[in-house]
Amino acid sequence: MYDIVTLQAHILQQQARYPDATGTFSWILSAISISAKMIAAQVRRARLEDVLGSAGEQNVQGEQQQKLDVIANEILLRLLGGREGVAIVASEENEEPVILRAQNDGETRYCVLFDPLDGSSNLDICGSVGTIFSILRKDQSSTVAEDSLLQPGLKQVAAGYVLYGSSTVLVLTIGSGVDMFVLDPSIGAFVRVAQGLTIPLRNKCYSLNEGNRLTLPQGYQNYLDWAQRSGYSSRYVGAMVGDVHRIMLQGGVFLYPPTKKAPNGKLRLMYEANPMAMLVEQAGGKALVGPGQRILELQPEGIHQRTCVVLGSSEEVDHVMAHVAG
């Protein structure tokens, strides 16, 4: 027999490592796990509840909102809003961050940023979708939201994602390794199934939208020519969570390079790139914007800033960068 460790027990184990911990941070992670269970239930019943398809509005990114985007966003806002330790929440779906507790009273409070339902267009075809989240400490010297939110990814306290697929998987880092949990519906709890995840150094597999190939800079096109001559496989889910999860377990590289339509990249730095970069680096991989430029070192200039992304197995990222720099 092996010990069954739930996410809640795991969080308490981590909390015990810090004698001065108040439990504030643990309550925030608890809110995220409850939100994940609620969203997972909505995803499973989406067709039955008639919540598939467009909500008829665009989000701040100019993208068509799906009905479940709105539902997932509301769940996270409500659950996190009820936690005393959360000062600010920011969502990819909302133009402005929500300041819940602006006072600076000496208490440690946090900012939570999230993409409530990454890859939501996959819902109509029963494809993988997910939630991505990032946690930062609030700037106690300021009541201006941007002062707390516009921190480089290196300042993240924790990051993670939830993948809603054949099972519901939560992958988490609190700044010291990466752990994986799977929701056991029979007991209603996330159960730890892996500790200290490590991305394989290499795997001949790349993930990107090759529909953009002819609009990519020449270096990326050269990489794709080389990879295909070298026997690489192409895998692309259309949801960053699904693609990165495969790479976390099997290795490979995920790319969202600049295109003619999106010369600065398309993925959101604060809601997608930073949390995924933290996870990948904590698992021994690399996460770059371009040659020699770590995603986590970027100084954000806006909460909806976009960026290019190349992340995954360290050797596979190096192959990409060698062609881009060459």
Please indicate, yes or no, whether residues 177 and 212 belong to a single structural domain of this protein. Answer: no
In a domain, residue 2? The reply is: no
Q: Is the model more confident about 12 or about 309?
A: 309
Q: Which of these three, 129, 162, 194, is where a domain ends?
A: 194
CA atoms within 13 A on the CB side of 218: 2
pLDDT at position 57: 59
Please indicate, yes or no, whether residues 69 and 100 belong to a single structural domain of this protein. Answer: yes
Please indicate, yes or no, whether residues 25 and 137 belong to a single structural domain of this protein. Answer: yes
What DSSP letter does each residue of 249-291 carry, written as one string? HH--EEEE---SS-TT-SEEIIIIIHHHHHHHHHTT-EEEEET
pLDDT 10s digits, 146-173: 889 999 999 999 999 999 999 999 999 9
Position 54 confidence tier, pLDDT thresholds 50, 70, 90: low
CA atoms within 13 A on the CB side of 61: 18
Phi, psi for 255 (deg, rounded to 5)? -130, 135
Tell me the whole-structure pTM to 2 decimals.
Answer: 0.94
Q: With 50 as the cut, is the pLDDT of residue 70 above it?
A: yes
Q: Which of these three, 144, 170, 194, is where a domain ends?
A: 194
Please indicate, yes or no, whether residues 219 and 172 belong to a single structural domain of this protein. Answer: no
In a domain, residue 17? The reply is: yes
pLDDT 10s digits, 276-319: 999 999 999 999 999 999 999 999 999 999 999 999 999 999 99
pLDDT at position 107: 77
Please indicate, yes or no, whether residues 27 and 105 belong to a single structural domain of this protein. Answer: yes
Number of other residues whose CB lies within 10 A of the CB of residue 322: 14
Which domain does 256 fall in, by range? Answer: 205-325
Q: Which CATH number covers residue 211?
A: 3.40.190.80
Q: Which CATH number covers residue 180?
A: 3.30.540.10
Residue 141, amino acid: S
